[in-house]
């Protein structure tokens, strides 16, 4: 039996631009199970200027969603996570118990850049996060205008210890030719 995990999902209902209702969450879960996925990490947006989804709220919502899936016989486990927009005080946010690592018990944390740029302080912040024991994962770098134009910057982040998470829809061309072709750089 293979174990497939979706590490980036907006399956929690009504918290961001993902599922809006419990029925949409159920449909997403059923589609995931049909594709062979048995575990999903819910990663709602946090501090992106539109959504604030704090650690403790996410944990409660994940528990409720898992209960719903169990009641409906959907064999999918949802784990807590968060997709946090980069900001200068991320280390403090971790210490204040506001930011959630992937699956809560790992040292991996999703970090999202604005779509058009990479803040100048990103390299220093990644260093500070790593010193604090956190492994930053840059989400969908193939959709960031600055990284598309300057892939050497992404290479530098990775060389310094950051990880990347690519979006499957970028690989298939759903986000346009630039995102897809940036994967060839």
Q: What is the CA radius of gyration of the chain?
A: 17
Residue 115 in 3-state DSSP? coil
For the record, the structure tokens of 101 come out as: 């690592």
Inter-residue contact 104 to 43 (CB < 8 Å): no
pLDDT at residue 171, rounded to an integer:
61
The DSSP secondary-structure symbol of 53 reads: -
Asked whether residue 52 carries a pLDDT value surpassing 80, the answer given is yes
Percent of the chain residues topping a pLDDT of 90: 87
Q: Where are the domains of the chain?
A: 1-82, 113-185
Give the rounded distance of the alpha carbon of 183 from its chain centre. Answer: 19
Q: What is residue 116's predicted lDDT score, i.e. its pLDDT?
A: 94
User: Across residues 131-139, what is the average pLDDT?
Assistant: 97
Least confident among 25-34, 88-97, 169-178: 169-178
Give, for 6, the enclosing helix (H) or strand (E). strand 4-9
- The span from the CA of 182 to the CA of 115, in Å, is 14
Amino acid 175: pLDDT: 45
Other C-beta atoms within 10 Å of 114: how many?
Answer: 14
pLDDT at residue 167, rounded to an integer: 81
Kindly state the percentage of the chain with pLDDT values over 70: 89
When pLDDT is averaged across residues 73-91 and rounded to a whole number, the result is 97
Model confidence over 102-130: pLDDT tens digits?
999 999 999 999 999 999 999 999 999 99
């Amino acid at each position: 039996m293979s174990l497939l995990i979706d590490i980036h999902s907006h399956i929690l209902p009504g918290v961001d631009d993902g599922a809006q209702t419990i029925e949409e969450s159920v449909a997403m879960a059923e589609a995931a199970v049909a594709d062979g996925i048995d575990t999903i990490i819910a990663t709602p947006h946090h501090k992106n200027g539109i959504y604030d989804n704090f650690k403790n709220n996410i944990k409660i919502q994940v528990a409720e969603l898992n209960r719903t899936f169990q009641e409906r016989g959907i064999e999918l486990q949802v784990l807590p996570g968060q997709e946090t927009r980069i900001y200068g005080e991320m280390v403090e946010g971790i210490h204040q118990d506001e930011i959630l690592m992937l699956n809560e018990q790992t040292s991996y944390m999703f970090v999202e850049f604005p779509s058009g740029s990479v803040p100048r302080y990103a390299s220093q912040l990644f260093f500070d996060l790593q010193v604090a024991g956190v492994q930053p994962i840059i989400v969908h770098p193939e959709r960031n205008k600055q990284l598309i134009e300057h892939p050497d910057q992404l290479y530098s982040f990775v060389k310094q210890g950051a990880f990347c998470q690519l979006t499957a829809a970028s690989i298939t061309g759903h986000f346009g030719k630039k995102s897809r072709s940036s994967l060839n750089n």
